[in-house]
């Protein structure tokens, strides 16, 4: 009999505990919205961002957040997109090439007596048409007036390796001093090319002073 009573008491206690737990769990919480009841709102607070002060968890998250490199969000165009347009080549109009008539210029300048300009045009004529210019030089009687041209022609022939032609032009110069100066410059070019010796110049009648100048390098082309 006592054993049955103890068992009955244990069952009653278990039921009482179960009822108490169920009543506790059925109570509404303060956070659960109830009809006619406004939930308590948390008052927003300013975050303290002063140096040396630990901010809230959200601030720490922002500080600890590492920005992504800018190139990860860059908009890279596809290859071949926005290719530059091909440049259109506009052909240049072909103008008429004007060939100056140096022969007429030389003859007109000779008639006008402009010897300085005549020598300039004569050199251009010679480079344009050597045969015609040479024929005119041989026909004219104004060798003294065209001495500057003859001087330059002689040096030009020497620089091209035509020594005999250079000497012929030099011999056409009527003024002895100008002719001698031209000859010294011709042979100075030969000396630089090691195509003449001091003994050969002595045999040609050059003075010792002229030979020294010729081999000194003072006379350029």
pLDDT digits 0-9 by tens, 74-131: 555 565 555 555 555 566 666 667 788 999 999 999 989 898 999 999 999 999 999 9
Residue stretches of the chain with pLDDT short of 50: 31-56
CA pair distance 199, 159, nearest whole angstrom: 22
Q: pTM value?
A: 0.54
Query: Looking at residue 219, what is its pLDDT?
Result: 85
CA pair distance 53, 48, nearest whole angstrom: 7
CA pair distance 162, 12, nearest whole angstrom: 145
Query: Looking at residue 23, what is its pLDDT?
Result: 54
Burial category of 160 from C-beta neighbours within 10 Å (exposed 0-12, middle 13-18, buried 19 and up) = exposed
Contacts of 192 (CB under 8 A, 6+ apart): 217
């Amino acid at each position: 009999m006592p054993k049955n009573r103890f068992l009955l008491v244990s069952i009653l206690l278990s039921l009482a505990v179960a009822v108490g737990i169920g009543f506790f769990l059925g109570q509404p919480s303060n956070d659960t919205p109830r009809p006619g009841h406004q939930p308590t709102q948390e008052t927003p607070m300013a975050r303290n961002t002063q140096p040396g002060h630990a901010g809230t968890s959200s601030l720490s998250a922002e500080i600890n957040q590492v920005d992504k490199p800018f190139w990860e969000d860059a908009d890279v165009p596809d290859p071949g997109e926005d290719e530059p347009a091909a440049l259109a080549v506009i052909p240049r109009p072909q103008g008429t090439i004007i060939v100056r008539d140096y022969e007429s210029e030389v003859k007109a300048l000779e008639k006008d007596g402009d010897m300085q300009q005549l020598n300039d045009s004569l050199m251009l004529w010679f480079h344009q048409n050597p045969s015609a210019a040479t024929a005119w030089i041989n026909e004219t009687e104004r060798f003294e007036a065209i001495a500057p041209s003859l001087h330059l022609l002689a040096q030009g022939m020497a620089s091209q390796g035509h020594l005999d032609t250079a000497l012929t032009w030099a011999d056409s110069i009527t003024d002895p001093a100008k002719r001698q100066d031209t000859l010294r410059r011709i042979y100075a070019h030969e000396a630089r090319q090691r195509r003449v010796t001091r003994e050969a110049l002595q045999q040609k009648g050059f003075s010792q002073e002229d030979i020294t100048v010729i081999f000194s390098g003072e006379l350029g082309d």
